[in-house]
């Protein structure tokens, strides 16, 4: 009986490993773009492709979206992205939001001298959603009264 439990555990771990490996290969294939970053209007011009990928992955996770949310892409199973394109209005909105977060952190929160406040990021308001979800219900009870 114990052997059967081990077989189930091994089978589950094997399936999890296969899924993780497939996702890793899909992501590498999907983001394979050797060209240096172009059309950087908010991020520093000397940002490397690897740094851009890390930054964009953070934005993607924070908003719960994929690359095609802001970037123009061809249709199909393996879309080709035109990362420098400004075709999608969401890209300009993202640029404005990046500037807003930077201003909040560097102009306002930085002036609070006791250092008690943490820097904000996209996930602070978006919490994994494309549009920020802020409601009175999300506030601690003591702040609602």
pLDDT tens digit sequence for 6-43: 566 676 766 766 666 665 555 544 555 678 999 999 99
Domain boundaries, the chain: 31-132
Question: Average pLDDT of 54-71?
Answer: 96
**Rounded-to-integer distance, Cα 67 and Cα 81, Å:** 8
Res 14: pLDDT: 65
Question: Average pLDDT of 69-82?
Answer: 91
At the topology level, CATH places domain 31-132 in Photosynthetic Reaction Center, subunit C; domain 2 (1.10.468)
Question: Average pLDDT of 79-88?
Answer: 94
pTM, rounded to two decimals: 0.69
Query: Which long-range CB contacts under 8 A does 87-93 form with residues at least 24 apart?
Result: none
Cβ-contact 108, 120 below 8 angstroms: no
Tokens of 23: 């996702």
Query: pLDDT per residue over 109-138, tens digit each?
Result: 988 878 778 899 999 999 999 998 777 776
């Amino acid at each position: 009986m114990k052997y059967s439990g081990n077989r189930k555990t091994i089978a589950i771990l094997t399936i999890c490993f296969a899924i993780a490996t497939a996702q890793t290969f899909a992501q590498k294939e999907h983001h394979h773009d050797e060209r240096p970053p172009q059309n950087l209007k908010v991020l520093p011009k000397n940002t490397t492709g690897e740094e851009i990928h890390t930054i964009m992955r953070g934005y993607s996770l924070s908003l719960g979206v994929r690359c095609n949310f802001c970037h123009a892409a061809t249709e199909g199973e393996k879309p080709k992205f035109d990362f420098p394109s400004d075709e999608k209005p969401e890209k300009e909105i993202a640029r404005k939001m990046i500037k807003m977060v930077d201003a909040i952190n560097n102009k306002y929160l930085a002036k609070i001298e006791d250092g008690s406040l943490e820097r904000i990021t996209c996930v602070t308001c978006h919490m994994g959603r494309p549009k920020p979800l802020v409601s009175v219900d999300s506030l601690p009870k003591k702040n609602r009264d």
